[in-house]
């Protein structure tokens, strides 16, 4: 169970960091979309107000020798 939690937390961090890097690279430095900033501020406010975090995720494993990917669902709190 601990391995699953660490894996899920790592995946979540990777997705967040990937999103942030894409967001920072999308607009020239110093220019941002006011709607995007308002949305991020709203999400940040909700995140800071919550005492717990729950995430549902799907892990997809693609093996080159197999035709169909394997999916595993999970959640962490």
pLDDT tens for 11-54 read 777 777 766 666 555 555 556 778 888 888 888 888 788 788 78
Tell which residue, 19, 21, 43, 13, has the closest CA to residue 5: 13
Say what the pLDDT of residue 1 is.
Answer: 64
Say what the pLDDT of residue 73 is.
Answer: 92
Instruction: Name residues whose C-beta falls within 8 Å of residue 4's C-beta, 6 or more positions apart in sequence.
Output: 74, 76
Is the pLDDT score of 5 beyond 80? no
Total count of domains within the chain: 1
In terms of residue numbers, what domain contains 62? 2-76
């Amino acid at each position: 169970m601990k391995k699953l939690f660490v894996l899920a937390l790592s995946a979540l961090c990777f997705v967040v960091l990937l999103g942030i890097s894409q967001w920072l690279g999308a607009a020239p430095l110093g220019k941002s979309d006011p709607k995007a900033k308002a949305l991020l501020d709203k999400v940040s406010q909700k995140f800071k107000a919550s005492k717990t975090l729950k995430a549902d995720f799907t892990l997809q494993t693609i093996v080159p020798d197999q035709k169909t990917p394997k999916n595993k669902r999970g959640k962490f709190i």
